[in-house]
Amino acid sequence: MTDLLTGPEPVVQERRLRTEVPGPRSRELASRRAAAVTGAVGSVLPVYVERAAGGVVVDVDGNSFIDLGSGIAVTNVGHAAPEVVAAVQAQAASFLHTCFMVGPYEGYVAVAEELGRLTPGDHEKRSALFNSGAEAVENAVKVARVATGRSAVVVFDHAYHGRTNLTMALTAKNMPYKNGFGPFAGEVYRVPMSYPYRDQPGLTGEQAAARAFSLIETQIGAHNVAAVLIEPIQGEGGFVVPAPGFLPALADWCRRSGAVFIADEVQTGFCRTGAWFASEHEGVVPDLITTAKGIAAGMPLAGLTGRAELMDAVHSGGLGGTYGGNPVSCAAALASIRVMQEQDLNAAARAIEATMLPRLRALQERTGVIGDIRGRGAMLAVEVVRPGTDEPDAALTAAVSRACHAEGVITLTAGTFGNVLRFLPPLVIGQDLLTEALDVLDAAFDAHVPVT
């Protein structure tokens, strides 16, 4: 119902089911999809989206869902934030593309300035822009290899860094990301992550780091390591927050060993965890930092930012791409960053944590199937297990998530064992909407967990 003069009617910030889920129009689209779109690409929701605003997604049958996923930590400033939409419209009316490598423009430079200003550390920085998180990570590895003259890259259990050939090698989980897609890129070495819930009790961050260093030093040789690459809080791997001290120990080891410390903040960046970047929670200053997802409210954009001497070690023309730093995406990023600052979305993320944690703890008490509650800010998760054990219960996790979808709440799962329910609400989500979503989550657990 778009009126050409006034635009579409505003999306009401409410949960409202008008049909069964999926409704008739979604079912019709699903059958068209089955005949045209490869089954290799999956979707979490059974419904097709027509509109979205703030914390609400509306499907083609008029059902409104409360969004606890943000398109996987992308719409941090809310769906269709008016400031971002206006910036995108204005840039689209000026020019859509020149290719920065052909005809440069201010937006790219301005985004690089913001990245330099916002990322941890007050050293000289330089940035390059790309289209996706995976591309930013690949380029981080390229920079680290050129700058160090070394080739080995150290990554961690449960890591997720993307789906391209190099980033599949960096990613830990076989199904669905890697299965059958090899051979993978070489010189990638995996070491244990600090995973407090599943590590031996009491293992400190420093001890977990020492466990990794021992493997690196005996199996790779410190002098061969170009980079240590880590998500400060793991995303797809299940929102694993390493024990305090783990990240600083890795950064320190890199400094002593001449290796580049790369923080993959593609999912954790841009206010998601209650800070601009999750590295800040432990005062870690990465040498290189990758960004994407939350940077531009849904327009495709990614950044690689780091020490000037590393970033400028690459020969002229060595990095780039046809669309990297697209002007419309840059305009969206600049507007998103302004919204984050003006609305103090770091504080908003912390307020979401303050609302959600007590509710999740009560759920844990009541159901007995939540082994761990973890995360920071508006990046929170519960790990679902069989009662009285730490055995993953992926089936229950999936059932609860589907029940939420059927009742109008968008939830996502994650984790190496598929047993993590993760919550990534838009940071602008209203308190009432968030509370209502948590009520739906409670009911979904109650419907699937036998009362004890």
CA dist., res. 224 & res. 150, Å (int): 5
CA dist., res. 417 & res. 236, Å (int): 11
Closer to ligand PLP at the Cβ: 139 or 367?
139
Closer to ligand PLP at the Cβ: 152 or 172?
172
**What is the number of the residue whose Cβ is closest to ligand PLP?**
133
Quote the tokens at residue 323: 């669309």
**Minimum CB distance to ligand PLP, residue 267 (Å):** 3
Q: C-alpha angle 357/362/366, rounded to 5°?
A: 150
Task: Give every CB contact of residue 341 below 8 A, 6+ residues apart in sequence.
Answer: none
Task: Give every CB contact of residue 309 below 8 A, 6+ residues apart in sequence.
Answer: 124, 147
Closer to ligand PLP at the Cβ: 160 or 276?
160
Closest by Cα among 194, 353, 330 to 272: 353
Closer to ligand PLP at the Cβ: 152 or 168?
168
- CB-based contact 154:228 (threshold 8 Å): yes
Tell which phi-psi region holds residue 377, choosing left (phi > 0), alpha (psi between -120 and 50) or beta. left
CA dist., res. 151 & res. 142, Å (int): 9
Closer to ligand PLP at the Cβ: 63 or 75?
75
Closer to ligand PLP at the Cβ: 89 or 174?
174
Closer to ligand PLP at the Cβ: 292 or 348?
292
Beta bridge partners of 190: 155
CA dist., res. 80 & res. 273, Å (int): 21
Closer to ligand PLP at the Cβ: 196 or 303?
303
Closer to ligand PLP at the Cβ: 45 or 58?
45
Report the first-to-last Cα separation within the chain, whole angstroms.
49
**Minimum CB distance to ligand PLP, residue 196 (Å):** 19
**Minimum CB distance to ligand PLP, residue 263 (Å):** 10
**Minimum CB distance to ligand PLP, residue 350 (Å):** 21
CA dist., res. 13 & res. 10, Å (int): 9
**Minimum CB distance to ligand PLP, residue 405 (Å):** 21
**Minimum CB distance to ligand PLP, residue 296 (Å):** 11
**SS3 call for 414:** strand
**Minimum CB distance to ligand PLP, residue 136 (Å):** 8
Interface residue list for ligand PLP (CB under 6 A): 132-134, 137, 160-162, 231, 235, 264, 266-267, 292
**How many of the other CB atoms lie within 10 Å of CB of 142?**
16
**How many of the other CB atoms lie within 10 Å of CB of 104?**
12
Closer to ligand PLP at the Cβ: 275 or 363?
275
**Minimum CB distance to ligand PLP, residue 25 (Å):** 28
CA dist list (Å): 18 to 21, 24, 45, 58, 408? 9, 11, 16, 11, 10
**Minimum CB distance to ligand PLP, residue 71 (Å):** 11
**Minimum CB distance to ligand PLP, residue 234 (Å):** 7
